[in-house]
Chains A and B, each alone.
Chain A
Amino acid sequence: MPTSTLAAFEFAELLPLGLIAVGAALGSVVRDLVVTQARVRCHRGDLGILLVNLLACAVVGTMPFWSQGNDELFKKVCVLGFAGGLSTWSGLAVEVALAARKRKWGLVTLHLVGALAVALGILAAAGALRSAQERGTESASAAVQAEGHA
């Protein structure tokens, strides 16, 4: 196999990994920034983790709106990379475990059940919006075709 073809093949294999790594690095830095600021300003690092987790779910839910047809590329960078680095289960698990140790069951419920409900709601809302948008596009196309036939 020619060297240039081999190099192109290797680059094509490594590019998605590179994009995921860059996205995840950026997401992790943003997460650390938000959680640190929440800890310093409000003494509530757990709320910072809650915020970044919900933000990452919003990124995942709204990705189809702004991917402009480049779904695979955006999926790698934004969903697997940035949103994956921005959100965290390990930090959340440690905070919930610490809250459970202190018998703060309200906080445990908020972080487990409350966050789950809100996150699923975000995705459901984004999905409903996307469906409405697609139905609107289909209706417009059908109307244009009907006018063309008439």
Chain B
Amino acid sequence: MSSTVNTMRRALLVGSGGALGALVRFVLVELLPAVGPAPLRSALFLLLVNLSGACCAGFLSGLSTRARAKCTVCIEQFLLVGVCGGYTSYSGFIALAYDDWADARWLTMLVVGLTLVGCPLAAWFGMAMSGGYPARPYAQRQETAP
């Protein structure tokens, strides 16, 4: 019974977080680029969304290693898996790269490159900021080497 309740609670937290993250992404990527004097590329907005989401995910994953048990459930399930997971999108990144390739080849290559390199770096930065993971895990080994 308790495992069923836990499973349902997890599904509720992850699902509601995912819905919230996806709605924020929709506003930023689909609605905002249409506002203003000239239409901006949705890909650039999605790049910013993925970078910020990766940074937050890194921060939260580091935080969850330091937080107490009750906070960890909320941090991991709702914020990390739910909100950050729904906020960022790999399929949207691929679809926009595929659609924009014919129209703006150089911009597409730039966005793809920045996403591939920037998102893991942003996650690493987030982890370092949270203090849950050291920014340079091999620093001690280098300091003690003769």
Q: Which residues of A are in contact with B by a Cβ distance under 8 Å?
A: 17, 20-29, 31-32, 53, 56-57, 59-60, 79-81, 83-94, 96-97, 100-101, 108, 112-113, 116, 119-120, 123-124, 127
Residue of A nearest to B137 (CB): A101
Residue of B nearest to A119 (CB): B94
* Residue B14 lies at the interface, judged by CB distance under 8 Å to chain A: yes
A25/B94 in contact, CB under 8 A: no
| Complex alpha-carbon distance, A79 and B30, angstroms | 12
Q: Most A CB atoms within 10 A — which of B91, B97, B98, B120? A: B91
Known contacts A24-B22, A81-B22: A89-B50 contact under CB 8 Å: yes
A24/B23 in contact, CB under 8 A: yes
The interface residues of chain A lying within 8 Å CB-to-CB of B122 are: 93
* Residue B111 lies at the interface, judged by CB distance under 8 Å to chain A: no
* Residue B116 lies at the interface, judged by CB distance under 8 Å to chain A: yes
Residue of A nearest to B98 (CB): A123
Known contacts A87-B90, A101-B137, A116-B116: A25-B123 contact under CB 8 Å: no
Chain A binding surface SS class: helix
Q: Most B CB atoms within 10 A — which of A22, A23, A32, A100? A: A32
Please give the distance in Å from A108's CB to the nearest CB on chain B. Answer: 8
Chain B interface bracket (under 10, 10 to 19, 20 to 34, 35 or more): 35 or more
The interface residues of chain A lying within 8 Å CB-to-CB of B14 are: 28-29, 32
Please give the distance in Å from B108's CB to the nearest CB on chain A. Answer: 11
Q: Which residues of B are in contact with A by a Cβ distance under 8 Å?
A: 10-11, 14-23, 25-26, 30, 50, 53-54, 56-58, 61, 77, 80-82, 84-95, 97-98, 112, 115-116, 119-124, 127, 133, 137
The interface residues of chain A lying within 8 Å CB-to-CB of B94 are: 57, 60, 116, 119-120, 123
A85/B86 in contact, CB under 8 A: yes
Please give the distance in Å from B20's CB to the nearest CB on chain A. Answer: 8
| Complex alpha-carbon distance, A49 and B21, angstroms | 17
A85/B85 in contact, CB under 8 A: yes
A87/B91 in contact, CB under 8 A: yes
Residue of B nearest to A63 (CB): B95
A89/B19 in contact, CB under 8 A: no
| Complex alpha-carbon distance, A31 and B15, angstroms | 10
Known contacts A56-B91, A84-B89, A84-B92: A90-B19 contact under CB 8 Å: no
The interface residues of chain B lying within 8 Å CB-to-CB of A29 are: 11, 14-15, 18
B95/A60 in contact, CB under 8 A: yes
A101/B17 in contact, CB under 8 A: no
Please give the distance in Å from A17's CB to the nearest CB on chain B. Answer: 6
Please give the distance in Å from B24's CB to the nearest CB on chain A. Answer: 10
The interface residues of chain B lying within 8 Å CB-to-CB of A91 are: 57, 81, 84-85
Please give the distance in Å from B142's CB to the nearest CB on chain A. Answer: 14
